[in-house]
Amino acid sequence: MKMMRLDKLLATLGEGTRSEVRDLVRAGRVTVDGAVARDAGMQVDAEKSVVALAGRVLSYKAVRHVMLHKPQGVLTAARDKKQKTVMDLLPPLYAAMGCMPAGRLDKDTEGLLIITSDGQLAHRIISPKKDVKKIYYARLDAPLGERDAAAFAAGLHISDADGTFDAKPALLEILSDSGCEVRIHVSEGKYHQVKRMTASRGANVVYLRRERIGALDLDPALAPGQWREMTQEEVALLEKEDE
């Protein structure tokens, strides 16, 4: 049982500000368990009461998890005054419930991004100690081959304009005869890591898409910019990363 003021519940669900939802209640547009609500301050069970706005039943979940196919040209951030962010792709409900991106993708990178209100789950995904693998598909402007795959497997020493670090051993799959299409498996998330790894071997990324986080694959039915709520089974795949 999760008791909550009706106006707070409506605002949390993204139906307006507290003052706006009070106006909706006064106008008789809100029902609770089939009866028209008269008091915006009435206590309702957010998880069990049937709350409807203009006949549309509202659904409360204490925790929300979203799978987004992040498109190119959008920032991975909660908000930005000048540029569009991934949170702008979702209804206001998700920001109101405290959802945040779990990790980040570069502005020009697309692919799988998890947006969640569960801080512990987000920590599992992004914490270096959890060693959660991420898989990327990349197209390059120059070929990579078996020597490069061996270098990836041994662990690359990266030294460039963005700094210096020793990358953990990673798997490089060569997907095309040209050597310009590859799949890269990494278990850490340094700044521009995949781009810097390939650049250190003489190949620049011209297109990058994240396909998998841990055991969770990007839903192929989601086009760039599309999203859906995750299933319990999908959330469980990510929670197992803590085991």
Active site residue 106: yes
Instruction: Name the active-site residue from 23, 39, 45, 106.
Output: 106
- What are the structural domains of the chain? 3-57 (3.10.290.10), 65-129+220-242 (3.30.70.580), 133-213 (3.30.70.1560)
3-state secondary structure of 168: coil
- Average pLDDT of the chain, as a whole number: 93
Q: For residue 213, what are the β-bridge partners?
A: 134, 216
What digits encode the pLDDT tens for the residues 148-204?
999 999 999 999 999 999 999 999 999 999 999 999 999 988 899 999 999 999 999
Residue found by looking up tokens 């250190």 in the block: 200
What pTM did the predictor assign? 0.82
Tell me the backbone φ, ψ of residue 86, rounded to 5 degrees: -60, -30
What digits encode the pLDDT tens for the residues 51-68?
999 999 998 877 899 999
